[in-house]
Chains A and B, each alone.
Chain A
Amino acid sequence: MVFNTGAALLDAIVLAVVSKEEEGTYGYKITQDVRSVLEVSESTLYPVLRRLQKDECLETYDMAYAGRNRRYYKITEKGMAQLNLYRVEWKNYSTKITKLFEGGIEL
C-alpha cells in the first residue's frame, strides 16, 4: 500500500476486528481478519495485541481447543470507549481528506 498505517490506526483496526466477536477471538484469526483489509506484516500484530492488553483495552482468557489451550482476546469497556473515540477521529480525518481530494474544500 502507498499509505503508511500509523500505530493508532492499527490499534483502531485491531480493536474493531476484536469487537466484532462477542465471545472473543484469537491471534491467528485476528491477523487473518486484519490482513483481509490491510497489507500488514504478520509479525506486527503481536505487539499491538500485547499493548492493547496492557492498556486494558483487551482482556484475554484461555480456553481448551483441539487438546490445547487457545488464548482468546475480548474487547473491554475501556477498549470500546477507545474504539468509539477512534471512530469519531477517523470520521473527521477521512472526511476532510476526502473533501480535499475531491475538491469540495476551500483552503
Chain B
Amino acid sequence: MNRAQFMEQLEKLLSDISEEERQEALDYYESYFDDAGEDQEANVIRELGSPGKVAAIIKADLRESSQNYGEYTENGFQDDRVKEDMQMPEQRGSRAERGYHAERKGSNAGVILVLILLVFISPLIKGAVGGVLGFIVALALLPFLIVFGIGAAVVGLFAAGIAVIGAGIGACFSASIGFGILGIGVGLLILALALVGLVFLVWAATKVLPAILRKFIDFCSRLVNRGSKKKEAGL
C-alpha cells in the first residue's frame, strides 16, 4: 500500500463523520506524509497501522469527546481505544461484590443467632421486664415488631397454660375433681397453642426475617455502593 491508497481508504472510512472533521483529519495526515518525506513513506504507513485503525481511533475520540478528560486515569489511552483493559473496572466491581456477599452472610448469621437466643431466653425473662425490654427492642427493630408480638403472645400463652394447669390441679383437691380436670384440659390446650406459636416463631425468625433483612441490607449496600462507584468513576 502506498500513500495515495492509504489516504483514499482513510477518506472512505471516514465518510460517516462530519465534513469538517474528515477534512481536518485528511489534511493532517497529508501534511504528516509531506513532513515525513518520501523516503519515510513506507515507515509512516507501517507505524500508523491500517487506515481502518487510524479511522477507528479518530471516530472513537469523536464519540468520547463529550466526556471529561481532565483527570488522571489508570486506564491506558491506547488500550481504551482497543478496548483491552476495559476489564479492569469490572474486575474491581466483582471483587467488591464478593466482599459484600461475605459481609452479608456474616451479619445474617449473627442476627439469626441473636433471634434464636431471644426465642430461647424469652420464657426466662418474666412479666414486666420482658415486656419493657421487648417493647424497646421492637421499637428499635421496627420490621421485627410483628414477630416479637407473636413471641410475647407465645410467652404469655406458656405462662397462662402453666397457670391454668396449676389452678386445675389445685381445683382437683380444693374444689370438685371434674372442675379441676376441665382446668387441666384447658391449660393443656393453651400450651398446645403456645407450641404452635413457637413453631411459627422459629419459622419466621429463620426464614422470613432473614429474607427481609437481606432485602434491607441489599438496599443499604446499594446506596453505599452507588456512592463509592461515583467516586471510582471520578478517578
Residues on A lying within 8 angstroms of B by beta carbon are 4-11, 26-29, 31, 40-44, 46-47, 49-51, 54, 66, 68, 70-71, 82, 89, 93
User: CA A33 – CA B58 in complex, angstroms?
Assistant: 21
- Are A4 and B75 within 8 A (Cβ)? yes
Complex-state Cα separation, A26 to B31, whole angstroms: 9
- Determine if A4 and B34 form an interchain contact, defined as CB atoms under 8 angstroms apart: no
Specify which chain A residues have a CB less than 8 angstroms from the CB of B70 in the assembled complex. 8, 82
Across the interface, do A41 and B28 meet the contact criterion of CB distance under 8 Å?
no
Q: Which of A4, A44, A50, A68 has the most CB of B within 10 A?
A: A4
CB pair B44–A42 under 8 Å, yes or no, is yes
Min distance, Cβ A100 to any Cβ of chain B, angstroms: 15
B35 with A5: CB separation less than 8 A:
no
CB-defined contacts of B79 to chain A, threshold 8 Å: 4
**B residues bordering A, Cβ < 8 Å?**
21, 24-25, 27-29, 31-32, 34-36, 44, 47-49, 53-54, 57-58, 60-62, 65, 69-81, 85
- List 18 A-B residue pairs with CB atoms under 8 Å apart, sorted by A's residue number: A4-B74, A4-B78, A4-B79, A5-B77, A5-B78, A6-B73, A8-B71, A8-B72, A9-B77, A26-B31, A41-B48, A43-B48, A47-B62, A49-B28, A50-B61, A51-B65, A68-B31, A71-B31
Residues from chain A with Cβ under 8 Å of B32 in the complex: 27-28, 31
B85 pairs with A4, CB closer than 8 A: yes
Q: Which residue of B21, B58, B65, B78 has the most chain A CB atoms within 10 A of its CB atom?
A: B78
Cα-based distance from A85 to B193 in the complex (angstroms): 75
Q: A27-B32, A47-B61 are in contact. List 19 more A-B contacts (CB 8 A).
A: A4-B75, A4-B78, A4-B85, A6-B72, A7-B77, A10-B77, A26-B35, A27-B31, A43-B47, A43-B49, A44-B57, A44-B81, A46-B29, A47-B60, A47-B62, A49-B28, A50-B21, A50-B24, A50-B61
Q: Is the CB of A68 within 8 A of B48?
A: no
Q: Which of A8, A26, A43 contacts B53, CB < 8 Å?
A: A43
Cβ-neighbour of B58 out of A4, A6, A41, A47 (below 8 A): A47
Query: A4 CA to B86 CA in the complex, in Å?
Result: 13
Pair A68/B54 contact, Cβ less than 8 Å: no
Give bound CA distance, A47 to B60, whole Å. 9
Q: Residues of A contacting B73 with CB < 8 Å?
A: 6-8
* Cα–Cα distance between A44 and B57 once the two chains are bound (Å): 7
In the bound complex, residues from chain B placing their C-beta under 8 Å from that of A89 are 72
Judging by beta carbons under 8 Å apart, are A29 and B69 in contact? no
Residue numbers in A under 8 Å from B21 (CB-CB): 50
Q: Does the CB pair A27–B65 fall under 8 Å?
A: no
Q: How far is the CA of A71 from the CA of B34 in the complex (A)?
A: 12
CB distance B76 to A11 under 8 Å?
no
Q: Check B49–A51 contact: CB distance below 8 A.
A: no
